[in-house]
C-alpha cells in the first residue's frame, strides 16, 4: 500500500473498544480527530467467529486496525482459566489479522503484554529477550497466545509485505479497568480493597503474595497515546527502528515499584490508616517485570503520567462509579 494512501487513515477499527485499552484508544483517536472511527460490541460482532470477522472486514473497507480485543485478567484468572486465555486470544487475533490481510488493511497494531518475556529475563527487559527462556507458569497460556500474535504480524510482513505492527505494554491501569477482586489486576484490586476498608473503618487490609514482586505500571491514557504515536510513524520510520524478526515495541514508563510500595501509595491515596498484611499462600508470579523502553524513546515517545497522578485519577474514577462496581 502506497504511503500517500495511508495519509488519510480512512476507516479506523478499534477492536475491543469497551475494554480499558480500547476505550482509551477511542478517546485518543477522537481527540486527534483523524479518520472515521468504527467500533462493534461483542453482540454485534463476535471476534472469535472467523466467518463473521471476514464478512465484517470485506463489507466495511477498513484502512487501519487497533487490535485491543483480548481475554485479559490478573494472576489468579490467568492461573485458573488457561484454556480460555489461550483459545480466545488465539482465535481473536488470528481472525482479525487474517481478515485484515484479506481485506487489504493498510496498517494494524497488535497489542500484547510484558508477560511474553521469560520469567527470569534480565532487567530491564529488551525486545530481543523474547523466546530466550522459560515463561512464568501462572500466565504461560496467555503469553504463548501473545507471542503467536507478534509472530503472525511478522510473518504477514515477511510473506505479504503487510504493515502490521506490535506494541507490548507493561501492567496497565486506569478508568474502565476491571475492579472484580477475583479476576482483576493488582492495582484496581488494591484501590477497591483500601477504599472499602476506609469506608468500613477496617483495621487491616490483606494483600496477596509476599509484597516483594516488582511491577511497572503505566496509565492507560499513556498507552493509548503511545499506540497512536507508533501508528502515526511512516512505514519507513517504524520498520527501520525495528527488525523483521523482532518487530514489537515495549511500552512502559521505565521504572517499577514493589507490591508493598504500591500498597502503601494506595493506602495514602484512599486515606486508609490501618495496617497492611501480606498473604504468602497466594502466588507472587514473576519476581520482576520492568521493560526497557529505549526502542520506544528512540521512536520519539515518552510516558507523561506519574504513578501517583495516575492512581489519584483512577481512584476518583472508581469513587464516581462505586455504586455500579459494588453492584456487579
Q: Active site residue: 142, 156, 173, 238, which one?
A: 142
Nearer Cβ to ligand GFB (37/144): 144
Distance of alpha carbon 295 from alpha carbon 292, whole angstroms: 8
Three cell numbers, residue 32: 486527534
Three cell numbers, residue 11: 476507516
In the range 189-228, which residues lie near ligand GFB by CB under 6 A? 189, 207-209, 213, 215
Name the packing angle between helices 186-200 and 307-320 (round to 10°).
60
The answer to whether 64 and 11 are in contact (CB under 8 A) is: yes
Q: Indicate which single residue of 29, 75, 108, 296 sits in contact with ligand GFB (rule: CB under 6 A).
A: 75
Beta strand 36-38 with 64-67: parallel, antiparallel or unpaired?
A: unpaired
The answer to whether 71 and 84 are in contact (CB under 8 A) is: yes
Measured from each CB, the residue nearest to ligand GFB is 74
Fill in the DSSP letter of residue 176: T
**CB-based contacts of 164, cutoff 8 Å, min separation 6:** 97, 100, 101, 107, 108, 110, 152, 153, 154, 156, 157
Site string for ligand GFB, 77-96 (x = CB under 6 A): -x------------------
Distance of alpha carbon 170 from alpha carbon 117, whole angstroms: 11
Nearer Cβ to ligand GFB (288/312): 288
The piece of 19-27, 154-162, 249-257, 277-285 that touches ligand GFB (CB under 6 A) is: 277-285
Distance of alpha carbon 145 from alpha carbon 142, whole angstroms: 5
Whether 81 is catalytic: no
Nearer Cβ to ligand GFB (95/139): 139
H/E element holding 296?
Answer: helix 294-298
The piece of 23-31, 91-99, 234-242, 283-291 that touches ligand GFB (CB under 6 A) is: 283-291
Residue 284 is a binding residue for ligand GFB (CB under 6 A): yes
Residue 166 is a binding residue for ligand GFB (CB under 6 A): no
Nearer Cβ to ligand GFB (206/237): 206
Shortest distance (Å) from residue 138 CB to ligand GFB = 6
Nearer Cβ to ligand GFB (64/166): 166
Looking up cell 522459560, which residue turns up? Answer: 134
Residue 252 is a binding residue for ligand GFB (CB under 6 A): no
Distance of alpha carbon 77 from alpha carbon 91, whole angstroms: 19
Active-site residue set? 142
Contact footprint for ligand GFB (CB under 6 A): 74-76, 78, 113, 115, 138-139, 142, 171, 184-186, 189, 207-209, 213, 215, 259, 282-285
Amino acid at each position: 500500500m502506497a504511503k500517500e494512501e495511508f495519509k488519510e487513515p480512512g476507516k479506523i477499527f478499534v477492536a475491543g473498544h469497551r475494554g480499558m485499552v480500547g476505550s482509551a484508544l477511542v478517546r485518543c483517536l477522537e481527540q486527534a480527530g483523524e479518520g472515521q472511527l468504527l467500533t462493534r460490541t461483542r453482540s454485534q460482532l463476535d471476534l472469535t467467529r472467523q466467518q463473521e470477522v471476514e464478512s465484517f472486514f470485506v463489507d466495511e473497507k477498513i484502512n487501519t486496525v487497533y487490535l485491543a480485543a483480548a481475554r485479559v485478567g490478573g494472576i489468579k484468572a490467568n492461573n485458573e482459566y488457561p484454556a480460555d486465555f489461550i483459545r480466545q486470544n488465539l482465535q481473536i487475533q488470528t481472525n482479525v489479522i487474517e481478515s485484515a490481510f484479506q481485506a487489504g488493511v493498510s496498517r494494524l497494531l497488535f497489542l500484547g503484554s510484558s508477560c511474553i518475556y521469560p520469567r527470569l529475563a534480565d532487567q530491564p527487559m529488551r525486545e530481543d529477550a523474547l523466546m530466550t527462556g522459560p515463561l512464568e507458569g501462572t500466565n504461560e497460556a496467555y503469553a504463548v497466545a501473545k507471542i503467536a500474535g507478534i509472530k503472525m504480524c511478522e510473518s504477514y510482513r515477511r510473506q505479504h509485505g503487510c504493515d502490521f505492527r506490535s506494541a507490548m505494554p507493561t501492567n496497565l491501569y486506569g478508568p474502565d479497568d476491571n475492579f472484580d477482586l477475583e479476576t482483576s489486576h493488582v492495582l484496581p484490586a488494591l484501590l477497591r480493597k483500601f477504599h472499602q476498608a476506609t469506608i468500613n473503618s477496617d483495621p487491616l487490609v490483606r494483600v496477596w503474595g509476599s509484597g516483594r514482586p516488582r511491577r511497572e505500571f503505566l496509565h492507560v491514557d499513556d498507552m493509548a497515546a503511545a499506540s497512536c504515536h507508533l501508528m502515526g510513524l511512516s512505514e519507513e520510520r517504524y520498520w527501520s527502528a525495528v527488525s523483521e524478526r523482532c518487530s514489537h515495541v515495549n511500552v512502559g514508563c521505565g521504572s517499577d515499584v514493589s507490591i508493598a510500595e504500591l500498597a502503601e501509595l494506595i493506602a495514602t491515596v484512599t486515606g486508609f490508616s490501618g495496617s497492611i498484611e501480606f498473604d504468602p499462600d497466594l502466588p507472587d508470579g514473576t519476581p520482576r517485570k520492568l521493560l526497557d523502553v529505549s526502542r520506544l524513546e528512540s521512536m520519539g515517545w515518552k510516558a507523561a503520567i506519574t504513578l501517583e497522578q495516575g492512581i489519584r485519577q483512577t481512584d476518583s474514577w472508581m469513587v464516581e462509579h462505586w455504586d455500579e462496581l459494588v453492584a456487579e
